[in-house]
Amino acid sequence: DVKVTQSSRYLVKRTGEKVFLECVQDMDHENMFWYRQDPGLGLRLIYFSYDVKMKEKGDIPEGYSVSREKKERFSLILESASTNQTSMYLCASASGGGTEAFFGQGTRLTVV
């Protein structure tokens, strides 16, 4: 069965901390994505990756970076967390020629 796993369901961090959100997929997918979800704004693409060590900015990359050292793992990094980064973060993966994106269960991050 297809699986995208995010390391935490809930996370509380302090302003200024460096935060790592981890995502692992077991489907050998080339493409992986990080979105944030906010009420009334839907899902907005932060970063995506189409291969190991390759990354592309999405629509709202400011304040974030990513790392993809292995094909199955895609990490989102908040360099210095701020309260406006409090949100639900969703990871997804998709094969290069596939039709659909598969999502993890989400990480609800609160920055205090």
Partner 1 sequence: GEDVEQSLFLSVREGDSSVINCTYTDSSSTYLYWYKQEPGAGLQLLTYIFSNMDMKQDQRLTVLLNKKDKHLSLRIADTQTGDSAIYFCAERGRASGTYKYIFGTGTRLKVLA
Site for partner 1 in 36-55 (CB under 8 A): 40-45, 48, 50
In sequence order, the β-bridge partners of residue 55 are: none
> What residues have CB less than 8 Å from 16, skipping those under 6 apart?
80, 81
Return the residue of 8, 58, 61, 73 that touches partner 1, per CB under 8 A. 58
Determine which helix (DSSP H) or strand (DSSP E) holds 72, and give its type and residue range: none
> What residues have CB less than 8 Å from 77, skipping those under 6 apart?
18, 19, 20, 21, 64, 65, 66, 67
Q: Decide: is 72 part of the binding site for partner 1 (CB under 8 A).
A: no
Q: Decide: is 99 part of the binding site for partner 1 (CB under 8 A).
A: yes
Q: Decide: is 90 part of the binding site for partner 1 (CB under 8 A).
A: yes
Contacts to partner 1 by CB under 8 A? 4, 30-31, 33, 35, 40-45, 48, 50, 56, 58-59, 90, 92, 94, 96, 99-106
